[in-house]
A and B are shown apart, each in its own frame.
Chain A
Amino acid sequence: MTLNWKQVGQYGFIMGIAVWYVSLVGMVETFDSRGIIDGTMLTLGRALLLTIGLGMGYVTAWKVAKGNWATGLITSLISGIIGGVMAALLVIIIDTTNIRAMFVNASPALVEILTFDQESLAVGLMMLTSSLIACSVVGGVIALLPNLIRRAVISGLLAVLLMGMLGELLTVVLNRFDLTEALADFLYGRNGLSVIGAISVFIFFAAVSTLWATQKEKMQSGVENLPATQRRALSWGLIVVSVLFLILLPQAVGPYISQILVLVGLYAMMGLGLNIEIGLAGLLDLGFVGFFAIGAYTVALMTTTGELGVSGTAIADYSNFWVAIPIAVAVSAFAGVFLGIPVLRMRGDYLAIVTLGFAEIIRILVLSDFLRPILGGAQGVLNIPKPAVAYVNQIANQLPFYFQSVLFFFVSTDGRIKDPAHFYYIILIGCTLIGFVAYRLQYARIGRNWMAIREDEDVAEAMGINLIASKLLAFGIGAAFAGLSGAIFAAQVGSVFPHSFGLIVSINVVSLVIIGGSGSIPGVIVGSLVLVGLPELLREFAEYRLLIYGALLIVMMLVRPEGLWPSDTVRREMQSDEDVEPVPVGQTVPRSV
């Protein structure tokens, strides 16, 4: 068997380049502040380097050896040596010549991290090179392991990485309760997991993964064999448990994570709206933030106590958050339809460009002097009151003490919704509502029609589908969802500024729809947790956010184009491609004349 040595060399070289890159852009040094295991033993910075080693070793053994142990070990060793030597070379270059004029991050501190804080450079270099080689070989071994064990090891490693990375936060959450405090003490040390904790986490998650993989089918068939009444009871039980979980969540995790959950929810709502446009109807809309802005400004202008609002006018007495919400949704939906009309005939790239322009027009209009008297220009709209729930105090006075505390679980004691933990419930209701509507639409006649338009617009029209009505409905409903999200956002933040509605928001929403799984409702939720939630938890690395974003997008498109949680249809299609002999639709066939 001839091995593709060129490929092995390439993977080793990529490993080296990746190490160079993350070191020189400063990621290693910045990430080094966060410990994963026992403070200095394994920091996130070094974990990043070692993960590169692991990953490339895995890829080498996977792609070149294809299940052959001997070649797998040799090739991952060789690519590890190439990568390790390149890493050592970087250290030597930084140590001997001054390249800081060009690479600001090539500092002595970086050398210290890369050489594992060793006094002697030679020993440090040895350690760096050998650890990369070791990681590469370990990666190779993981790739060669049988499926079940491989999955267990990878889940365990990922769990250690994640739990170590989010250690600070998890400790805070766990310390909120006496019951879990002991667990926190056991798992976590000074900075990151303790050694014992890391080992336990690894074993626990590896075991869970194995159990899940082996018992999943048995459990599924077990559930399917239950009598119908019991099955229904089980599914209701699951619903009750998850509702209880969602209700108790903000109280359990504290204000900081509640705040993040609020943001995740706002993006999830937008994502569900955009999912109708992109995922179902195939209308690539890059200006989605425009509708979010319209919803936000509607609520802002209708409820603000500042000079821009309606406070001085006759309708002020009737105008509050709850009145403004449906109006904001309606205005956004109208704007969506209004934008839809001129772009009805456009497809694909052209549509993307026009919608992009639309969002910029809205932003620039808001910024303009022309509309400053109405919209406040760059200063935005301030003093948006928090939503009030009327008569809370009166009701509370009538209730026995125990129910009072239940009531104030959802609303602040002054009857306003202002804490993140309280806003969370509005978002939860909004998400549930939107998710429900999206689900019903997706599996109805209109959902099928949207998909048909996505697949082949001309044929869809020839089937009797009214393209104009269907597309405008997709634009309108998508915009309405975004408008609701924006409306809640305005009330939650308490002020709106044009710069909150930049292009980056649209890009985030498109990314979370695609990474989550285009056309899939749970995918959008997962996508917003990963793309909005995780970066918020890793605030101190914000400057690398876009870099990681881009890398993630590329990796996803290469490895898992159907998304994290694909829709049923897409999953079927992308995974069964290997088993079923595909007959491409629309292929040209020989014709007899």
Chain B
Amino acid sequence: MASILSARGVTKRFGGLVAVDHVNVEIEEKSIHAVIGPNGAGKTTFFNCITGFYPINEGKVIFRGEPLVDIPPDQITRRGISRTYQNIRLFANMTAIENILVGQEPHLKSPWFGAVLGLPATRKEEEAAHEEARRIIRFVGLQGRGDILAKHMAYGDQRRLEIARALASKPKLLLLDEPTAGMNPNETASLTHFIRQIRDELGVTIILIEHDMRLVMDISELITVLDYGQKIAEGTPVEIQRNTKVIEAYLGRGATNPTAEDDKAEQPELPAT
């Protein structure tokens, strides 16, 4: 299988802290790939390294055969990587439609003076963009809510809108950072279905950070486990479930050794980066 993105020895340091430590990951095209790990394991930092939010200290990220080195975030998006955020970061005072229109930015070409002069090409592009935005609104199931300000939408709708905005740039690779955080089981189930639908219908490769293990085991084809910035395991859901290192990372060292007295689950409660 062709890999769409490969991270080779990606390292990110914050002062003395190594948040991402020589991580190698290959993401297969049109796969759903989960990145899991305890809080503070460096998952979101890893995302930020891919999307150009943080410059990488060592290693490189190769996307569709080309290295992404010293490329600003807007250019990375234009190449086909799009993302959502762990804490929803919509344009709060803009409507749902407007949020999606901004998401289409990589495909809009008309210059600003075209709008001032009312050039036909600009008008046509704007009309097409609005049409596309309404189509995306329907695709994510937010029809009829296009004119609501993002901050007034229900929490689950905001999550969907964020995905809609990310899809508007027609990405090849979609990074979802905890898409089901704060959702109830019903909403999670429907979102799981939706994520699979994105992959199947749009052919978008998806990398997913998620804490909901049922969802992760349900939809991902490969799982990468990070702990303290290092990749400690990688494999199919079944392999990961049996992996002792993973169980240790999540439940503490005692969990795999029944004779040890100290079997209190020791979970690092660091804030997720």
Contact = CB atoms under 8 A, between A and B. Distances in A.
Contact of B115 (A445, A456, A464): A445
A458 interface: yes
A456 B99 CA distance: 12
Contacts of A407: none
26 contacts: A440-B116, A440-B118, A441-B115, A441-B116, A444-B115, A444-B116, A444-B122, A451-B91, A452-B91, A452-B94, A452-B102, A455-B93, A456-B91, A459-B91, A460-B102, A462-B53, A462-B83, A465-B102, A466-B74, A573-B93, A573-B152, A580-B152, A582-B151, A583-B154, A589-B182, A590-B182
B269 to A, nearest CB: 9
Interface stretch (B60-68, B103-111, B190-198, B219-227): B103-111
A591 B38 CA distance: 12
B152 A464 contact: no
Quick one: which of B39, B73, B153, B267 has the most chain A CB within 10 A? B73
Given A440-B118, A441-B116, A583-B158, A463 B126 contact: no
A347 interface: no
Contacts, number: 129
B87 interface: yes
Contacts of B72: 461
B118 A464 contact: no
A576 interface: yes
B212 A592 contact: yes
A460 B99 CA distance: 10
Which 10 A/B pairs are nearest by Cβ-Cβ distance?
A589-B182, A444-B115, A455-B91, A464-B106, A464-B77, A464-B105, A446-B112, A585-B92, A580-B152, A452-B102
Contact of A569 (B94, B115, B122): B94
Contacts of A444: 112, 115-116, 122, 126
Nearest to B107: A464
B92 A455 contact: yes
B44 interface: no
Nearest to B117: A440
A473 interface: yes
Interface string B68-104: 0000111001100001010111111111001001110
A460 B169 CA distance: 12
A75 interface: no
B107 to A, nearest CB: 9
Contacts of B139: none
A520 to B, nearest CB: 13
Interface string B178-211: 1001100000000000000000000000000001
Contacts of B85: 459
Given A461-B74, A583-B155, A569 B116 contact: no
Given A462-B83, A573-B149, A592-B212, A456 B105 contact: no
Nearest to B86: A591
Contacts of A569: 93-95, 149
Nearest to A458: B53
A572 interface: yes
A463 B103 contact: yes
Given A440-B116, A459-B85, A473-B112, A584 B181 contact: no
B98 A448 contact: yes
Interface of B: 38-39, 51, 53, 72-74, 77-78, 83, 85, 87-95, 98, 101-103, 105-106, 108, 110, 112, 115-116, 118, 122, 126, 129, 149-155, 158, 165, 169, 178, 181-182, 211-212, 267, 272
B141 to A, nearest CB: 18
Contact of B105 (A441, A447, A449, A585): A449
Contacts of B272: 591
A590 B182 CA distance: 6
B73 A593 contact: no
Nearest to A586: B87
Interface string A562-593: 00000001101100100010111111111111
A96 to B, nearest CB: 57
Interface in A419-468: 437, 440-441, 443-449, 451-452, 455-456, 458-467
Given A463-B77, A467-B74, A588 B94 contact: no
Contacts of A449: 102, 105
Given A462-B53, A462-B74, A583-B153, 6 more contacts: A445-B101, A445-B110, A448-B102, A583-B155, A583-B158, A591-B182
B178 A593 contact: no
A465 B94 contact: no
B182 A465 contact: no
B49 to A, nearest CB: 13
A585 B90 contact: yes
Given A461-B74, A464-B169, A585 B182 contact: no
Contacts of A586: 87-89, 92
A455 B94 contact: yes
Contacts of A572: 149
Given A444-B112, A452-B94, A585-B92, A462 B77 contact: yes
A461 B116 contact: no
Contacts of A465: 74, 102, 105
Contacts of A573: 93, 149, 151-152
Given A452-B102, A580-B152, A591 B118 contact: no
B213 to A, nearest CB: 9
B149 A445 contact: no
A143 to B, nearest CB: 30
Interface string A454-487: 0110111111111100000100000000000000
Nearest to A580: B152
Contacts of A462: 51, 53, 73-74, 77, 83
A53 B39 CA distance: 59
A364 B258 CA distance: 78
